[in-house]
Amino acid sequence: MKTSAPSLLKATFAIVQKDLAAEFRSRELLSAMLVFSMLVILIFNFALELNIDARKSVTAGVLWTTFAFAGTLGLNRSMAVEKDRGCMDGLLLAPVDRSAIFFGKAISNLAFMLIVEAIVIPLYAMLYNETRIFQPEFLGVLLLGSIGYIAVGTLLSAMSVQTRTRDVLLPILLFPVAVPVLLASVKASGGIIANATFAEILTPLNLLIVYDVIFIAVSFMIFEFVVEE
């Protein structure tokens, strides 16, 4: 069902508001993502404790590994809750364009991931004595990478939630497809931390932007067919 732009925006933000209100009441999703992220950060901290040079060189990789796994956990749980509670059927029966469901879920998933990142980054800076991750350029790359990862992750989680093995299937589907955005994010983030020139990080930055645009457009076009299967 096709709707006008104002109706699409209204439906999208209604879904976002629903997800945020439900999460802030239960705190199930954010709690799981935060505990998992902090556990990964602490494990890497102890593993790299004796090698100061290695700790400095793997900052981008450690952070993106943490965010990727925590984001996958959040994506899986976000759609599973809708399915288990029967909310997904209600959303599909609503007289709105199906793309509003995609954008609503993607925005709420992105909000959860950004909240986790906002808590994890200061913790990482404290444990690793790394202040360069607060640079605006680094935070910009973090936002671009998160958008791309959540866009493709929301689409694939809508596909995998219909299966019995959804907890296992989503990572299998997501990680191969998300490899370009993760590699580009690590490369650009690492370059910024290492004080590389803009020309040196331009290629991964362009890849991030192109990836975001392509997968948001693809998800917008095929989400309706995915949820109907």
The residue ranking higher by pLDDT, 48 or 74, is 74
27: alpha, beta or left, given left = phi > 0 and alpha = psi -120 to 50? left
pTM comes to 0.89
Mean pLDDT on 83-107: 77
pLDDT at 217 over 60: yes
Question: Over the stretch 145-159, which tens digit does the pLDDT of each residue have?
Answer: 999 999 999 988 888
Q: Nearest CA to 218 among 162, 146, 148, 145?
A: 148
Quick one: what percent of the chain has pLDDT higher than 90? 31
pLDDT digits (tens, 9 = 90+) for 111-130: 999 999 999 999 888 887 78
Domain count, the chain: 1
pLDDT tens, 159-215?
887 777 777 888 888 999 999 999 999 999 989 988 888 888 999 999 999 999 998
46 versus 36: the higher-pLDDT residue is 36
Model pLDDT, residue 51: 64
Tokens of 44: 């890497």
Name residue 156's amino acid. L
* Residues 159, 227: Cα–Cα separation, whole Å: 7
Q: Provide the residue range defining the domain that includes 172.
A: 5-228
